[in-house]
Amino acid sequence: MDSMKAERFRRVAAPRVQRVLDNLDNLAKCSNRNNYEYTNDEVNKMLRAIKASVKNLEQRFEEKNGASNKGSFKF
């Protein structure tokens, strides 16, 4: 493995992973029913979208060259 590419991966990936984790923590705050109202259908749709995105991420890392399959989430 090219050590420059490996170092770049570590340098770039670590803060990106931390941003994802931070954003998931922020999203979890929406579960507070004292501040928000939502349906089980909305939660299920949101979780399906997140799980599909994680599955896509896993597939891209299994491929030789990860191709983008990016979409946007809407309720």
pLDDT at 9 over 80: yes
Three-state DSSP class for 27? helix
* Average pLDDT rounded to a whole number, residues 10-16: 96
Higher-scoring residue by pLDDT: 72, 16? 16
Q: What predicted TM-score, i.e. pTM, was given to this entire model?
A: 0.79
Band of residue 2 on the pLDDT scale cut at 50, 70, 90: confident
pLDDT at 57 over 80: yes
CB proximity list for 73: less than 8 A, separation 6 or greater: 46, 49
What is the reported pLDDT for 67?
Answer: 63
* Average pLDDT rounded to a whole number, residues 53-75: 82
Of 34, 30, 67, which is closest to residue 46 (Cα–Cα)?
A: 30
